[in-house]
């Protein structure tokens, strides 16, 4: 009897260890969760480790690369071109969303996931119409055309999105009420976190704030992580898997404002969300997680501090984006694809390849 118990325990341990990170790169991920820290360079990432007194969830990713972020028309990308590169696999001009420099619309990984029967979702700690999430859904030569970007959500079959930006759907120049249009398309609408948490259906439009969610986690609490949990719970119901993009939008804003404390808060908020996602991926075994940034913001440097008490003294060399390569961390099946130096557009190609989608179907 005891022998059998040890045998069962042995199998259990074997399976548990396997589920930490599947090593077999022959396995194709059923799900991809792409996590973008807007403006997250290596210093921003490492500030989370110091502030957490020597702990960072992102460290659980053993496959690490570096992404070159320059856009089609500038060494320094903005979040429109940076988002488009990652989402669609094209270097484009700054301020462009989902288009080539010649203004030709191009499809995103979210679109390809949709046509390959996967459930799809976007979660952002900004307006959902802001450049990074917009790059996965919209096509526009001007990233600030928020109302037009909001209308593009209705042209897709995205299953779930959660962020701010309600005004872009309801207080519009064309006087259309896109929330009504979303309801007509079968979406439930959530206007606050309680409604997100109570949601048990299939299609959710979470428009939690008129404009952006509050700047800093003191104002919006655990919104990013809780929204991500709901997104995973909802999209997991699809038998064919899912694609989800999660953006920690405001690391970038703290970089522009040169406020180190807020930057660190935003980084920890992102890393807490990363921890929850990696827990899911480790248990699930069929989920590839990619954590990266569209660019670095602020030329941030850690010039002093203390790991024991979590103190950080940060300095900024700039109030805008910089050219430096940004980290790419990957976890799960096909994580090996994301090692070494790469162009930001390669992140799209590698996700497309990892999913095993038909390469001949690209942009047709
Ligand atoms: Mg962004
Ligand atoms: Zn920025």
**pLDDT tens per residue across span 320-341:** 999 999 999 999 999 999 999 9
Q: How far is CA 274 from the centre of its chain?
A: 10
| Per-residue CA distances from 108 to 120, 133, 308 (Å) | 11, 11, 43
Q: Are 41 and 324 in contact (CB under 8 A)?
A: yes
Residue range 20-54, pLDDT digits in tens: 565 556 789 999 999 999 999 999 999 999 999 99
CATH of domain 2-9+32-358: 3.40.720.10
Taking the C-alpha atoms of residue 105 and residue 95, their distance in angstroms, rounded to an integer, is: 14
Q: Are 295 and 326 in contact (CB under 8 A)?
A: yes
Taking the C-alpha atoms of residue 287 and residue 335, their distance in angstroms, rounded to an integer, is: 10
Is 79 tagged catalytic? Answer: yes
pLDDT at 186 over 80: yes
Measured in angstroms, how far is the CA atom of residue 65 from the centroid of ligand 1? 21
Taking the C-alpha atoms of residue 19 and residue 278, their distance in angstroms, rounded to an integer, is: 11
Per-residue confidence at 215, pLDDT binned at 50, 70, 90?
A: confident
Nearest to 144 by CA among 211, 207, 76: 211
From the CA of 134, the nearest ligand is 1
Taking the C-alpha atoms of residue 135 and residue 124, their distance in angstroms, rounded to an integer, is: 12
Measured in angstroms, how far is the CA atom of residue 247 from the centroid of ligand 1? 7
pLDDT at 236 over 90: yes
Measured in angstroms, how far is the CA atom of residue 294 from the centroid of ligand 2? 9
From the CA of 293, the nearest ligand is 1
Mean pLDDT of the chain: 94
Return the pLDDT at 362: 85
Q: How far is CA 273 from the centre of its chain?
A: 10
Taking the C-alpha atoms of residue 141 and residue 104, their distance in angstroms, rounded to an integer, is: 9
Residue in 71, 79, 108, 135 annotated catalytic: 79
Q: Are 42 and 322 in contact (CB under 8 A)?
A: no
Domain regions of the chain by residue span: 2-9+32-358
Return the pLDDT at 216: 77
Tell me, what DSSP letter sits at residue 161? E
Per-residue confidence at 5, pLDDT binned at 50, 70, 90?
A: low
Residue range 148-171, pLDDT digits in tens: 999 999 999 999 999 999 999 999
Please tell me which residue, 62 or 215, carries the higher pLDDT value: 62
Neighbours of 72 (CB within 10 A): 17
Tell me, what DSSP letter sits at residue 213? P
Per-residue confidence at 100, pLDDT binned at 50, 70, 90?
A: very high
Torsion sign, CA atoms 233, 237, 242, 243? negative
Per-residue confidence at 17, pLDDT binned at 50, 70, 90?
A: very low
The token pair at 334 is 């096909």
Q: List, in order, residues 6 or more apart from 14 with CB less than 8 Å away.
A: none
* 3-class secondary structure, 123: strand
Q: How far is CA 99 from the centre of its chain?
A: 20
Return the pLDDT at 240: 98
Taking the C-alpha atoms of residue 93 and residue 78, their distance in angstroms, rounded to an integer, is: 9
Angle, in degrees to the nearest 10, between helices 344-355 and 79-88: 30
Taking the C-alpha atoms of residue 344 and residue 335, their distance in angstroms, rounded to an integer, is: 16
Measured in angstroms, how far is the CA atom of residue 131 from the centroid of ligand 2? 10
From the CA of 94, the nearest ligand is 2
Return the pLDDT at 15: 47
| Per-residue CA distances from 125 to 129, 130, 250, 251, 273 (Å) | 11, 10, 7, 10, 12
Residue range 268-295, pLDDT digits in tens: 999 999 999 999 999 999 999 999 999 9
pLDDT at 297 over 70: yes
- In the sheet that holds 188-190, the strands lie side by side as 188-190, 204-207, 160-164, 119-127, 242-248, 31-37, 287-292, 326-331, 63-68, 340-343
Taking the C-alpha atoms of residue 14 and residue 1, their distance in angstroms, rounded to an integer, is: 20
Measured in angstroms, how far is the CA atom of residue 296 from the centroid of ligand 2? 8
């Amino acid at each position: 009897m005891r022998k059998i118990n040890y045998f069962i325990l042995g199998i259990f341990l074997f399976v548990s260890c396997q589920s930490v990170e599947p090593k077999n790169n022959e396995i194709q991920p059923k799900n991809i969760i792409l996590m973008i820290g807007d403006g997250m360079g290596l210093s921003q990432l490492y500030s989370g480790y110091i502030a957490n007194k020597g702990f960072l969830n992102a460290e659980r990713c053993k496959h690490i690369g570096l992404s070159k972020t320059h856009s089609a028309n500038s060494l320094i990308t903005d979040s429109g071109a940076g988002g488009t590169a990652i989402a669609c696999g094209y270097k484009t001009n700054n301020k462009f969303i989902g288009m080539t420099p010649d203004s030709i619309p191009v499809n995103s990984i979210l679109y390809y996931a949709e046509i390959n029967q996967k459930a799809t979702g976007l979660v952002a700690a900004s307006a959902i119409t802001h450049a990074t999430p917009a790059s996965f859904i919209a096509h526009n030569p001007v990233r600030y055309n928020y109302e037009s970007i909001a209308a593009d959500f209705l042209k897709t079959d995205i299953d779930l999105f959660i962020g701010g930006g309600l005004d872009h759907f309801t207080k519009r120049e064309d006087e259309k009420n896109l929330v009504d249009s979303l309801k007509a398309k079968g979406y439930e609408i959530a206007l606050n976190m309680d409604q997100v948490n109570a949601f048990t259906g299939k299609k959710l439009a979470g428009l939690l704030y008129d404009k952006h969610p509050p700047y800093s986690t003191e104002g919006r609490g655990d919104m990013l992580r809780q929204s991500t949990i709901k997104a995973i719970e909802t999209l997991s119901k699809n038998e064919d898997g899912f694609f989800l993009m999660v953006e920690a939008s405001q690391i970038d804003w703290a970089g522009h404002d040169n406020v180190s404390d807020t930057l660190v808060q935003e980084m920890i908020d992102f890393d807490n969300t990363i921890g929850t996602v990696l827990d899911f991926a480790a248990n699930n075994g069929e989920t590839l997680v990619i954590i990266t940034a569209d660019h670095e913001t602020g030329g941030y440097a850690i010039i002093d501090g203390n790991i024991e008490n979590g103190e950080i003294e940060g300095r900024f060399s700039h109030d805008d984006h910089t050219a430096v390569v940004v980290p790419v961390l990957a976890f799960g099946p096909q994580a090996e694809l994301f090692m070494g130096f790469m162009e930001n557009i390669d992140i799209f190609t590698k996700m497309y390849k990892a999913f095993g989608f038909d390469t001949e179907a690209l942009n047709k």
